[in-house]
Chains A and B, each alone.
Chain A
Amino acid sequence: MTRGNRILLSCTYWAFVAYVFVPLVLMVLMGFKDSKFIGFPIRSYTLEWYMGIFENAEVISAFAYSVAIAVLSTLISVFVGTWIAVLLEGRKFWGRAAIFGLTVLPALIPGIISAIAFRIYARYLGIEPGMGAIVWSHAVHNVPFVVLVVMARLSTLPKSQIEAARDLGADPLIAFLRITLPYLIPAIMGASIFCLLLSFDDFVRSFFLGGYEPTLPVLIFAKLKSGMSPEINAIATAALVLTAVVGVWAERFTRRMNKES
């Protein structure tokens, strides 16, 4: 590889980094602007917008609502996803391929179609739009990610350990709870964080299945439709910081867990 090519490649990389970061940095900066109008240049700075979100009851309740939805839907996804992964990994049975295909289906359906299908099905099941419907749709949508992550981890579990436990008299359930489940913890943690972030940031399903109470992304969307303001920047930045902190922490956490075992 010639030197010129190398430099060109590294320039592309840093240009891409700029593409990825600059918009977000600008958004954070704009939240400090001491004016009602969005736009550059920023002549004077204020903390008013950022402090404002702590006093804004609407934002705080949307935030709490989103977190509650994320936690509840993640619990369901992780429970069901782990169960499906245990069934699918390392077993051969009639219809396995079909079950696997159906398992990953929600991850492959484009967002709007998935939201519409859930909306129709919710009415069919008699679930009113609102928190229950959002939790349910997020839970179903996130199951495939849990299954894939847990299956990958499960495939590295030494079979001998289960056999040893069974030889020592453990029934299948206890062998699962005491051997398999502890082994899966890093994968389950990683998948949980991923589900939490997916649910917290989801817009399209929350939008179509939500009632009158907005989740945080839906609130930002509604505010955006009536015009841009540094207030939105502050709210969006709060969401961004939370997501990034949880994400980075999870990344370090899972890597440490993987190293330990």
Chain B
Amino acid sequence: MTYDASAREDRGAVPATGSDRTFWGRLASWAPYRALVQLATATPRRQFLILAALPVLWVLTQHLGPMLQMLRVSLTDAYPVAAGTEQHFTFDNYLRFFGDRLFWMPFFRTLGFAFVFTLCTLVLTYPVAYFLARHVSPKNRMLLLLMLLIPFWVGEIVRTYAIMILLGNTGAVNLALKWLGLIDRPIPFMYTSFSMGVGIVYLTALYMLLPLYSALEKLPKSLNEAAADLGAGAWTRFRRVTLPLTIEGISSGCTLVFLISTGFYATPVLLGGPSTTVFAETIAGFFHVAGDEWPTGAAFAVIMFLAALILTTLFQKFMTGLRKGERK
């Protein structure tokens, strides 16, 4: 505990004297510094304002600013404004979305994909989290969990590429199936919603695993034992005890995975095909061509964000309701 020791030999923090030779002592007794600190901490209110100024400015201009600017651009007819023309307020960018099948199809496809992939991730990771939290001794638990964490530090592109190698026509899966004699010619996994799903679940699994794991770990074993004593079978115990008590973990894991999987751009581009165009690709298209498409792109991004936000909020409301219902 280094800070403890330094606090005890804390000659430096005492102002005045000047005989102190530590850095802190000299700083504390340096007249301009003292004047400055006195000025800043004259009243608790002023001290608080100085402390709060940077965070408030930062979150307003850097966190909220980009979103508000995007909203503003989405409501204009031209951005950037060409010289000699005027910028007008308009809803046309939003109306364009409903006008063309090429626009709203990818949008609903994205939501549908995100829903299915979230469900797949949940079904896949729940037993893994359950196993880690309930069947592994605490000593090995960290090791087994850490082993799963390492690949998740690797970036989106690298892991997407790994899936491309796995599922290609001359990939490992096709080779294995051929070797087992199950197929004669390779199954075209790539550039389908299947390959995209494998990739996205691969990228998001951790965000589901961790909330589930922490919810399951908190669950006392005694509850399950009590249920068993009362004669509940394994399935009933899971359905009536474990599942309801981990709803919070399920809800936050699903929310995270859903939000993240609507936002992937590179993975659908690399793993998907023409029939699986997602909304992220549609939005990106407006920013790659001529600049005057920016307002439409911004409007579509706003639509995407609002839809994702509304759906996840409704979902969380629903899950909270479910939890309360179970308790009654």
Contacts and interface: CB of A to CB of B under 8 A. Distances in A.
A254 B80 CA distance: 47
Contacts of A90: none
A106 B3 contact: no
Interface of A: 1-2, 5-6, 8-10, 12-13, 16-17, 19-24, 26-27, 30, 37-41, 80, 83-84, 86-88, 93, 99, 102-103, 105-106, 108-121, 123-124, 140, 143, 161, 164-165, 168-175, 177-179, 182-183, 197, 200-204, 207-208, 217, 220-221, 224-225, 228, 232-233, 236, 239-240, 243-244, 246-248, 251, 260-261
A210 to B, nearest CB: 12
Contacts of B169: 39
A23 B168 CA distance: 12
Interface residues of B, number: 96
A175 B66 contact: no
B319 interface: no
B205 A27 contact: no
Nearest 4 CB-CB pairings of A with B: A110-B263, A39-B170, A201-B155, A170-B13
Contacts of A173: 37, 40
13 contacts: A20-B151, A24-B158, A27-B162, A87-B52, A110-B304, A110-B305, A169-B14, A171-B28, A172-B37, A178-B12, A178-B13, A225-B270, A243-B155
Q: SS class of chain B's interface: helix, strand, loop or mixed?
A: helix
Interface in B146-172: 146-159, 161-166, 168-172
Given A26-B172, A168-B14, A178-B6, A207 B301 contact: no
Contacts of A217: 155-158
A87 B51 contact: yes
A22 B198 CA distance: 13
B266 A204 contact: yes
B174 to A, nearest CB: 8
B305 A109 contact: yes
A116 B171 contact: no
B168 A38 contact: yes
A238 to B, nearest CB: 10
A9 B234 CA distance: 13
A22 B73 contact: no
A112 B284 contact: yes
B162 A112 contact: no
Nearest to B174: A40
Contacts of B151: 20-21, 24, 244
Contacts of B47: 172
B188 interface: no
Contacts of B13: 165, 168-170, 174-175, 178
A220 B70 contact: no
B273 to A, nearest CB: 14
B155 A87 contact: no
Interface string B110-141: 00000000000000110110111001000000
B212 to A, nearest CB: 12
Contacts of A87: 51-52, 55
Given A38-B170, A102-B64, A110-B305, A182 B287 contact: no
